[in-house]
Amino acid sequence: MDTKYIICVVGTRPEAIKMAPVIKRFQLSKEFECRVLATGQHTDMLDQALSHFGILPDFNLKIMREKQSLDYLTSSVLEGVGQVLDKEHPDMVLVHGDTTTTFASALAAFYRKIPVGHVESGLRSNDPYLPFPEELNRILADDLSTLFFAPTIHAHQNLISEGRDRDKVFITGNTVIDSLFWTLENLGSYKPDWVAPLLPKNRIVLVTAHRRESWGQPLNSICKAIKIVLSQYENLHVIFPVHKNPEVRKIVYSCLSDQKRVTLCEPLSYPDFVRLMQLSYMILSDSGGVQEEATALQKPLLILRYQSERPEATEQGTGVLVGTNTDLIIRECRRLIEDREHYKEVTNKPRNPFGDGKAAERIENIIRSFFHTT
């Protein structure tokens, strides 16, 4: 097989974290030339995540601007990625997940008849507006893809039921587990300096919330639940890394900045976030990746969404869908705090349904086989 040229496209922090193991595999291979195209859908958080893994983008579109619309993002990524592809002529483009970068990059590759490999393919909530616009982004990316790297059995079944070519759909595990394990191996005994004074007197509750469907009143309801739970249990301390989106920051800071046992901080580096997950008593989040990471770390997770494309977390019992319902959030927090047997059961699950840390290796082997047979 002649050396094949792969371009891996990333635009956001989660994409960078989840694509990093794939990028590193290809960069070490003698059979592939791999270059990284960063769209800059997010800027600082994307660069921060890539640097943790020692990855520098070969191309950076730097498209991010204040109050960017979905129209702007889609058109900017489509045009910018298209220009790079016209110049570079790669043999394959790899995209990840469900962002606007994912969809628009896959479309740019399709327009040039370049095969697309979709990492974390096949996730479905079965509601086009939950999460928005991610659910439709990932479906459209799959429509444009040649190879489908499904992280779980559920994702594989979704793709097969949609009529995708069975010979092109592969269960690989989720690459975020590769990144998580690699990060844990390199953390040693490290913990952020500002966290140490909070331990061991307090139980840490880690909170993240950023999705569009949570903006406005839903986020207010989440913050209200946090305040009530804190008022009822004096040994809790909430750490809330606040997303940079102004819609999120406005609500979170207005609701929680006056709370003594709440630390509001900037988005954390990936190592700091991994360590905080490890140190947490429980986690509240609307993030998809956190559902996978918390399950792998055996940490109780209240999922601040009403539907999830990752049913493995709820089936495993580490995750509970609570949406943004104040009463339901409070009830499930109380259960984890007061019912020790329930907490033990949640934190002692024997297996991780999201992967074994070898997803990137499988993806590389599948792509190698694809080029050997085409």
Burial of 284 (0-12, 13-18, 19+ CB in 10 A): buried
User: The domain that contains 207 carries what CATH number?
Assistant: 3.40.50.2000
Please give the Cα distance from 167 to 85 (Å, whole number).
Answer: 27
Residue 77, domain extent: 4-173+358-372
Mark whether 76 and 214 lie in a shared domain: no
Average pLDDT for 46-53: 90
Q: pLDDT tens for residues 4-31?
A: 999 999 999 999 999 999 999 999 999 9
Positive or negative: CA dihedral 71, 75, 78, 81: negative
Mark whether 32 and 153 lie in a shared domain: yes
Residue 222 lies in a domain: yes
> 138-142, 195-199, 226-230 — which is least confidently predicted?
195-199
Mark whether 143 and 85 lie in a shared domain: yes
Average pLDDT for 87-112: 97
Mark whether 228 and 248 lie in a shared domain: yes
Mark whether 274 and 135 lie in a shared domain: no
CA 161 to chain centre: 24
* Count of structural domains, the chain: 2
Burial of 84 (0-12, 13-18, 19+ CB in 10 A): buried
Catalytic residues: 98, 120, 134, 210, 212, 243
Q: What is the pLDDT of residue 212?
A: 84
Mark whether 128 and 232 lie in a shared domain: no
Predicted TM-score of the model (pTM): 0.92
Mark whether 140 and 282 lie in a shared domain: no
Q: pLDDT tens for residues 197-210?
A: 888 788 999 999 98
Mark whether 134 and 248 lie in a shared domain: no
Mark whether 312 and 223 lie in a shared domain: yes
